[in-house]
């Protein structure tokens, strides 16, 4: 039965995105909340491995909610040198400082897109499957397939006509994801985030 519901849900998504287009769909008025980065008292610190076009890079990613709708993001090397220091406000990334090697428009745009998804506090629901596990959301010209797990969001697939990237979360509670994996379908870019453990005041 579950398989059939999922299949019907997939068909409805396919039909809606190919047929009348995203603009014809209407929000249900409900939202899916993402509370993984919601506590302003918590330093979210992740050991980060980045694989980009065959090159490996390790470092430490630090995320902190500084006010409603705003997060500070800093990626450092293991030795502590900052590679990127940026502020994300309502999906817009402002770079405070960046090393020369990282100062590429495509890379900054990709990070902006990825972290606007991960740090977004809610997604408007356009449709859900019967089991309330699989949901469909639209923001701007992009669609999001969202799978809910036992503790908050488990997976998000971001698409723009075709799938662009996939974000997978592993969490032991709904306020903290201890592992996050980002995989791109149109770029050779993967990011693996593993928590060093959250620290609070």
Partner 1 sequence: MNRYFLFFIFIFFGSFAQDRKMDATEIKAFREAVNAKSAAIKSMTTDFTQYKHMDFLSKDVETSGKMAFKEPNTLLWEYKKPYNYSIVFKNGKISINDEGKKSQMDASGSKIFAKINKLIVGSVSGNLFDDKEFTISYFTNANFNFARLIPKDAALKKYIKEIELSFSKKEATVEQVRLLESDADYTKIVFKNKVLNAKVDDAAFRN
Radius of gyration of the chain (CA): 17
- Which residue, 6 or 42, has its beta carbon nearer to partner 1? 42
Residue 8: both structure tokens together: 């019907």
Q: Which residues bind partner 1 (CB under 8 A)?
A: 41-43, 45, 47, 49, 56, 58, 60, 62, 64, 66, 72, 74, 76, 78-82, 99-100, 194, 196-197, 199-201
**CA 126 to CA 27: how far, in whole Å?**
4
Q: Which is nearer to partner 1, 51 or 154 (CB)?
A: 51
Consecutive H or E run containing 116: helix 105-118
131 vs 199 by CB, closer to partner 1: 199
The H-assigned helical ranges of the chain are: 2-18, 105-118
Whichever of 62 and 88 has its CB closer to partner 1, that residue is 62
**Alpha-carbon torsion angle 28, 26, 149, 151, nearest 10:** -50
What's the closest the beta carbon of residue 37 comes to partner 1, in angstroms? 14
- Residue whose CB is less far from partner 1, 34 or 48: 48
C-beta of 57 vs 157, nearer to partner 1: 57
The minimum distance between CB 99 and partner 1, in angstroms, equals 7
Beta-strand pair 176-184/189-195: antiparallel
Please give the Cα distance from 195 to 181 (Å, whole number).
Answer: 12
What is the smallest separation between the CB atom of 79 and partner 1, expressed in angstroms?
A: 7
Query: Residues with Cβ < 8 Å from 2, sequence gap 6 or more?
Result: 131
Q: How far is the CB of 44 from partner 1 (least distance, A)?
A: 10
Listed residue (107, 115, 127, 124) closest to 13, CA to CA: 127
How many Cα atoms within 13 Å fall on the side-chain side of residue 59?
Answer: 17
Closest separation between CB of residue 166 and partner 1, Å? 22
Q: What is the closest distance, in whole angstroms, from the C-beta atom of residue 51 to partner 1 in the complex? A: 10
């Amino acid at each position: 039965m579950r398989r059939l519901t999922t299949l019907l849900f997939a068909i409805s998504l396919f039909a809606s995105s190919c047929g009348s287009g995203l603009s014809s769909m209407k929000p249900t008025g409900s939202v899916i909340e993402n509370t993984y980065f919601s506590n302003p008292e918590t330093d979210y610190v992740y050991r980060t491995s980045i694989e980009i076009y065959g090159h490996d890079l390790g470092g430490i990613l630090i995320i902190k909610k500084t006010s409603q709708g705003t997060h500070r993001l800093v990626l450092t090397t293991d030795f502590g040198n900052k590679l990127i220091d940026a502020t994300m406000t309502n999906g817009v990334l402002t770079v405070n400082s960046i090393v020369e090697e990282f100062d590429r428009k495509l890379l900054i745009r990709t990070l902006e897109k990825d972290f606007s998804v991960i740090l977004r506090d809610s997604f408007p629901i356009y449709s859900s499957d019967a089991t309330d596990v699989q949901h469909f959301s639209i923001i701007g010209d992009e669609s999001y397939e969202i799978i809910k797990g036992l503790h908050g969001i488990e997976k998000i697939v971001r698409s723009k006509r075709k799938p662009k990237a996939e974000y997978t979360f592993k969490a032991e509670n709904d306020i903290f994801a201890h592992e996050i994996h980002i995989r791109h379908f149109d770029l050779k870019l993967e990011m693996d985030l593993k928590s060093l453990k959250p620290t609070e005041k």
